[in-house]
Amino acid sequence: MTKQNLSESLFKPQVKHPETSTLVKYVCPQATNISNKMLSGERQERWYRMINWLAWIWRGINPLEIQDVLSRIAVTNAERSHDHLLDTVVGYRKGNWAFEWSQQAMFWQQKAQHAEQGSKTSECWLKASMLYSIAAYPHLRGDELADQAVSLANKAYENAAHFSDYQLKKLKFRLEEGKTVTGLLHIPSGVQGPCPTILVCASLDSLQSDCWRLFREHFSPLGFAMLTVDMPSVGYSAKFTLTQDTCALHQQVLQQLKTVPWIDHTRVGIFGFRFGANIAVRLAYLEPHLIKGVAVVSPVVHELLHGEKLQQKIPSMYKDVIASRLGIYHVDEAALRSELSCYSLKNQGLLGRRCSVPMFSVYWKDDIFSPREDSKLIARSSMDGSLLAIPSTPVYSGFSRALHESSVWLKDKVD
């Protein structure tokens, strides 16, 4: 018998974790899709994931740091699920997506542990949290390594808040089915008494903690508290599945805000991004007396959910994300298209009807996820609706403007 090298036996993976790109399977192989870079990230031929430079830089990650981690993933010779896709390394080891991003997060975690207590410590913990979140991206159900990274991201985020100048309250809301869901309430520094609050509905492929900059730079300066709740099947909401009643989770949270002492439940607005806008707009129809205004950016409410041509343009990873949120693991694309049409708020008979809640929608030209028609439909359906077109370039400043205009509009409606 050949004596095994000690280092080989120590570092050999004990469990062959399922590789992310293999979690969702298709009846027929998918064609390769190339998306535009607007907000969604760059889909290159050699990557399974959409490389979302805009979002990651906006969350505070240095571009050189992103490039460094991607390079480490690219150069490894380890086994991959798909030889032509760089980010499909099997097992938790060098070159694996979760491994490399988690290693980078640990670097900042160690810096936080050795930094002087204060803003520097908070900044280091925050960077660690954002990097752990990327390690879990795109947050598919059944991804064991991603689940571990999410737990570390949430803990690091709590640590970041502990050393910051604002308050973070971890709230548990009891749901009808006997379960609970956790939301994070961000309270501006120096505020006394209940705050006007914005409930944020984020995109399908992010954690609620990823919205920190939205609070720090846009809502907090205007005196708003920010409440976040993870999307169904993500993060703290991992045990839930997205249904055609897309806002079910957030609706039950919204109904309980009057029991939260830090929130002025008479002054509540909703902000939604991408598919989160679907939830936000649906809430406006179902709970109009609880909401002062709804602002959405790049909404996914009808066209993408209803139109086969648009669906054929979106990247494979995003299709996997949608299927995962719906609890579908063996996908027939024709059946998935039929199912998605039921998530259209127009097909549900909501959008197109007059809504008493003021609504504001922001869109980009040539955004395949959210065509202009979706924003026009939202604005026309509201008794006090408006829309804003943002130039396609420069992307980063356009995104910042969208968030600024949305927060200022919410200030006018909620106060």
Domain boundaries, the chain: 17-25+50-164, 165-414
pTM of the model: 0.92
- Window from 218-227, 307-316, 366-375 with minimum mean pLDDT: 307-316
- Whether residue 10 is predicted with pLDDT greater than 60 in this model: the reply is no
If phi > 0 it is left, if psi is from -120 to 50 it is alpha, else beta; for residue 235 that is left
pLDDT attached to residue 31: 52
Which residue has 């996997």 as its token pair?
A: 320
Taking residues 34-45, report their average pLDDT. Answer: 53
Taking residues 139-165, report their average pLDDT. Answer: 96
Q: What whole-number distance in Å separates Cα of residue 19 and Cα of residue 367?
A: 30
17-25+50-164: CATH, from 1.10.540, 1.20.1440, 2.40.128, 3.30.450: 1.20.1440
Give the 3-state secondary structure of residue 344.
Answer: coil
Fold for domain 165-414?
Rossmann fold (3.40.50)
> What share of the chain in percent tops pLDDT 70?
93
- Residue 70: which H helix or E strand, with range? helix 63-75
- Whether residue 204 is predicted with pLDDT greater than 90 in this model: the reply is yes
Count the helix, strand and coil residues of the chain and give each as a percent rounded to the nearest 5: 45, 15, 40
- Whether residue 1 is predicted with pLDDT greater than 60 in this model: the reply is no
pLDDT attached to residue 45: 74
Q: Helices 97-114 and 119-136, interaxial angle, to 10°?
A: 170
Q: What's the pLDDT band for 356 if we cut at 50, 70, 90? A: very high
**Same fold yes or no, 17-25+50-164 and 165-414:** no
pLDDT attached to residue 5: 44
User: At 293, phi and psi to the nearest 5?
Assistant: -175, 155
Alpha helices (H) in 342-392, listed in sequence order: 372-381
Taking residues 203-213, report their average pLDDT. Answer: 96
pLDDT attached to residue 2: 43
Whether the Cβ atoms of residue 236 and residue 230 lie closer than 8 Å to each other: yes
